Amino acid sequence: MPDGTDKPASSPKRSFAAPTGTRDLYPLELARRRWIEDKWRKSAVRHGFEEVDGPTFEHTELYTAKSGDGIVGEIFSTFSGKDEAAVKAMGDALARGEKGAAPYALRPEFTPTLARMFAARGGQFSKPCKWSWQGPCYRAERPQRGRLREFLQWNCDLIGDGSAAADVEVMAVCVGLLESVGLKPADLRLRFNSRRVLGSLVREMGVDAEHESTAFVLLDRRDKLDDDALEAMAFEFGTSDFGFLQFLKRPRGRTGADEALNAMPLDARAKANSLLEPITAVSRELQNAGIAEWCDLDFNVARGLAYYTGTVFELHEASGAMRAVAGGGRYDNLIETFGGPPTPAVGFGMGDVVLSLVLQDKGLMPSDKQIAADLGLRPDVFVISNGQPESDALVGAYLADLRRKGMHARRSYKTTKNVGKLLQDAASCNARYAVIIESATDVTLKDMDANTQDKGPASELLARILPPPR
RNA sequence: GUGGCUAUAGCUCAGUUGGCUAGAGCGCGAGGUUGUGAUCCUUGAGGUCGCGGGUUCGAGUCCCGUUAGCCACCCCA
């Protein structure tokens, strides 16, 4: 365009940073992520969960319907780009000072997708249906320690069984993961509660059904607010019934059933034992499953998501310093809400960000070499020339042959003929064996772990390390 | 969305009360020595000091703005 500017034809260089809250994963970092994904998947498989997957983005209404305001406010809105009418409508709404909603949302969590999937086709599966999933989720939050805008989540859900045993089966796969990465009950605590029990208790204390969910919010924040702030919020929410206020302001720190019951009004306490039955059922099953030592009953756990109906739980670092590693619970109404048959379901989600932090803090993240070995990425053999021209010429043929036979085979790209430096190259990629080509027929086979080697005919020595023929 | 802290090489950091061509270690590349993963020696690449203004004879250094990152609140995996 002859616009008279003398800008050079080549546009100026511009550098881009990754968007806020996202991660660029270079080989070592991706290997660490794969290691976690591998542990997740294996834990799910061991416990009999089958992997499913769904779309990265959904209709926005899928989340506005049931997820609760917390998550809805963090949605990344998405347009198709071809739907100019929708883009314009949102622009107009914003211009009028209204809130606009995009037609699509990047998934902030997977549970609504799973409930939608089950509502659509769940009838064809035998019950209970045990599904696991892992993949990226997106939330437009301000990043900080343990929190990003794009993160990985692992979900395990058990659909079609409303029993306490089902609740505990889901908790058990979560604990199974922790055990598989070397964590101990002293490191992490699984705090559980029941919304149904909590609901009947607060009703006994004078809170009506309409205010039940705001009562849960208050209980969830007990540890973070002082009595005055709690009381102020309670009045604001219209949940200032005397009995409930006393319960809300009971001493902090102790979280078990006895402490909670002692803080309740007498007439409520009288009925409490029968009201507590759902929780005692869970406790029994925790014993049966052998994971009780990981778990604490905690009346402060209510969970933010609006769709939880029964048992709820959160997994926290024992010191309580860090945010939740995982959280979940029972959502018996969600599938019906999405047009399916009334179906009980329970599940949890675990994020990779906090889990990685915990593993690092505890020194449980394996070395990069160990991770590569765990993932089957360790080179089987490293091919080296002894520096003679006839050996140099054979490197490519050896590589091709070994690879064709199923070996992970590598070579050096350095120009040096120094065997020591080439072995250093082999060691730095953690190759299991090194093959030094000595002549047209002979090689030295070096066991890099044992630091032993033999020299002889190639056909004979390589036969030792080749995988058995199928 | 609110607040605090930080910003010099890929990484970890020096850089004096403002003063010559901005440094080190590690890592990366090349070469040498010892036919075997170590050690050692030589050498190279890589930075408009986050970006934009201002003060000054002179700014990596002082001031303002901005962006990004980290941390906390909020919320949550």
Whether residue A278 has a cis bond before it, omega within 30° of 0: no
Residues 121-180 of A with CB under 7 A from strand B: 139, 141-149, 151, 153
Percentage with pLDDT > 70 across chain A? 91
What span, in angstroms and rounded, lies between the C-alpha atoms of A48 and A41? 11
The answer to whether A15 CB is within 7 Å of strand B is no
Question: What was the pLDDT predicted at A99?
Answer: 65
What span, in angstroms and rounded, lies between the C-alpha atoms of A152 and A57? 15
Measuring CA to CA, which residue among A57, A55, A153, A53 is closest to residue A105? A57
| pLDDT surpassing 50 at residue A11 | no
Which of A168-172, A215-219, A275-279, A397-401 is least confident?
A215-219
Measuring CA to CA, which residue among A36, A25, A135, A51 is closest to residue A374? A36
Mean pLDDT, residues A206-221 taken together: 78
The helix/strand/coil state of A34 is helix
| pLDDT surpassing 50 at residue A12 | no
Q: How many CB atoms lie within 10 A of CB A431?
A: 24
Angle at A97 between CA A92 and CA A102, to 5 degrees: 55
Instruction: Provide the CA A28 to C1' B10 distance, Å, integer.
Output: 14
The answer to whether A422 CB is within 7 Å of strand B is no
pTM of the model: 0.88
Q: Which nucleotides of B are covered by protein (CB under 7 A)?
A: 1-3, 28-39, 68-77
Q: Is the ipTM of this complex over 0.85?
A: no
Measuring CA to CA, which residue among A407, A355, A66 is closest to residue A213? A66
Nucleotide nearest to A221 (CA to C1'): B75
Mean pLDDT, residues A212-231 taken together: 77
Mean pLDDT, residues A318-328 taken together: 82
Question: Which residues, 6+ apart, have CB-to-CB distance to A461 below 8 Å?
Answer: A435, A443, A445, A454
The helix/strand/coil state of A194 is strand
Q: How many CB atoms lie within 10 A of CB A69?
A: 10
Mean pLDDT, residues A97-104 taken together: 73
A169-206, pLDDT tens digit by residue?
A: 999 999 999 999 999 999 999 999 998 888 888 888 87
Which of A11-15, A36-40, A336-340, A462-466 is least confident?
A11-15
Measuring CA to CA, which residue among A276, A305, A252 is closest to residue A204? A276
Residues 171-230 of A with CB under 7 A from strand B: 220-221, 224
Instruction: Provide the CA A23 to C1' B26 distance, Å, integer.
Output: 24
Question: What was the pLDDT predicted at A5?
Answer: 30
The answer to whether A445 CB is within 7 Å of strand B is no
Instruction: Provide the CA A144 to C1' B74 distance, Å, integer.
Output: 12
Nucleotide nearest to A144 (CA to C1'): B71
Question: What was the pLDDT predicted at A2?
Answer: 32
The answer to whether A109 CB is within 7 Å of strand B is yes
Q: Select the more confidently predicted residue: A122 or A252.
A: A122
Question: What was the pLDDT predicted at A66?
Answer: 59
Pairing type for strands A381-385 and A326-330 reads unpaired
| pLDDT surpassing 70 at residue A255 | no
Nucleotide nearest to A424 (CA to C1'): B37
Residues 287-346 of A with CB under 7 A from strand B: 303-305, 314-315, 323-327
Buried/exposed A374-406: b ≥16 CB within 10 Å, e otherwise: eeeebbbbbbbbbeeeebeebbeebbebbeeee
Q: Select the more confidently predicted residue: A186 or A212.
A: A186
What span, in angstroms and rounded, lies between the C-alpha atoms of A118 and A417? 62
What span, in angstroms and rounded, lies between the C-alpha atoms of A328 and A305? 9
The answer to whether A451 CB is within 7 Å of strand B is yes
Tokens of A150: 């794009």
Instruction: Provide the CA A431 to C1' B10 distance, Å, integer.
Output: 25
CA dihedral A384, A386, A388, A390 (to 10 degrees): -50
Mean pLDDT, residues A59-84 taken together: 75
Q: How confident is the model at residue A8 (pLDDT cuts 50, 70, 90)?
A: very low
A34-56, pLDDT tens digit by residue?
A: 999 999 999 999 999 999 999 99
Dmax over Cα atoms in chain A, in whole Å?
95
Best-predicted range by mean pLDDT among A249-253, A280-284, A319-323?
A: A280-284
Q: How confident is the model at residue A98 (pLDDT cuts 50, 70, 90)?
A: low
Mean pLDDT, residues A16-30 taken together: 84
Return phi, psi of residue A223, to 5°.
Answer: -75, -15
Indicate the average pLDDT of chain A: 85
Radius of gyration in angstroms for the set of CA atoms belonging to chain A, rounded to a whole number: 29
Nucleotide nearest to A349 (CA to C1'): B77
Question: What was the pLDDT predicted at A49?
Answer: 97
| pLDDT surpassing 60 at residue A462 | yes
Q: Select the more confidently predicted residue: A389 or A86.
A: A389
